[in-house]
Amino acid sequence: MKEKRASELIENVCCPVKSEQCLFRNCVNCADKRVTFFPYSEDIFQYKKWDTVVEQKVNSKSNDDQVVKSKVTKKNEASDKTSDFLDGFHNVMTQHMAHLGRVEHQKEASKEIQENISPEDLLVMADWSENYQCKCAEEVQSVHFGGSRSEVSLHTGIAIRKENRETFCTISSHKEHGPISIFAHLKPTLERSVLEDTKNISSFHE
Ligand SMILES: [Zn+2]
């Protein structure tokens, strides 16, 4: 393909002025557009792709050869039938565009709520940061062993009322990012000062 960036790929399969419908592939004018690939005659296509895998290692520094698990993201060699690779690429791209469509939709919805926010509304915009690895000012050598360094989840966001707003960040060693975890992280935020008059909240937008 001639495009160098993901944004160029997306521009080239959407209308010149792209809408949410283009990104969701529901637009009658561009839904059938696909990325153009240079001719490729081989049956098998070789490429590199990022994979996240859980690796187990024995911590030789521990007294009982403790096994530690760690998530590692690596670029791996891969190969597929060329037609399967192209179909897979198209599917990944469609999913990514739908994600961008949802982001656009949320931005618009959030803008509308902020413009018309009432004293009874609470708008919370939050998302996960990447997991962070902890570091001590002074560390014993065994901490450098892969997998023995602790990781934490950060959940960052902003809570908006009509009269005030407050940014927040919660931290936990629990690394699940599902809906239950989101509300566990939001609980202290919902109890904080910006929300002291929570009794008056009738609408919660997230
Ligand atoms: Zn379109």
CA of 158 to the centre of ligand 1 (A): 33
Q: Which helix (H) or strand (E) holds 77?
A: strand 67-81
CA of 113 to the centre of ligand 1 (A): 27
Structural domain count, the chain: 1
By DSSP bridging, strand 132-133 and strand 121-128 are unpaired
What global pTM score does this model have? 0.65
Domain membership of residue 16 (yes or no) is: no
Residue span of the structural domain in which 163 resides: 118-206
CA of 28 to the centre of ligand 1 (A): 7
Closest CA to 89 of 9, 16, 184: 9
CA of 13 to the centre of ligand 1 (A): 8
Domain membership of residue 172 (yes or no) is: yes
CA of 19 to the centre of ligand 1 (A): 6
Domain membership of residue 142 (yes or no) is: yes
Per-residue pLDDT of the chain (206 residues; tens, 9 = 90+): 888 888 899 999 999 999 999 999 999 999 999 888 888 888 898 999 888 888 777 766 666 777 777 777 788 999 999 989 989 999 999 999 999 999 999 889 889 988 998 888 888 888 877 666 666 666 555 545 555 556 778 888 888 888 888 888 888 877 777 788 888 888 887 776 555 665 566 666 66
- Taking CB atoms within 8 Å and a gap of at least 24, the contacts of 105-110 are 105/20, 110/205
Domain membership of residue 196 (yes or no) is: yes
pLDDT the model gives residue 39: 83
Domain membership of residue 84 (yes or no) is: no
CA of 64 to the centre of ligand 1 (A): 60
Domain membership of residue 198 (yes or no) is: yes
CA of 23 to the centre of ligand 1 (A): 8
Closest CA to 132 of 166, 96, 100, 169: 169
CA of 82 to the centre of ligand 1 (A): 28
Domain membership of residue 112 (yes or no) is: no
Strand partners, 204: 122
CA of 12 to the centre of ligand 1 (A): 10
- Residue ranges in the chain assigned as alpha helix (H): 6-13, 20-23, 82-115, 179-190
pLDDT the model gives residue 30: 95
Domain membership of residue 136 (yes or no) is: yes
Helices (H), strands (E): how many in the chain?
4, 7
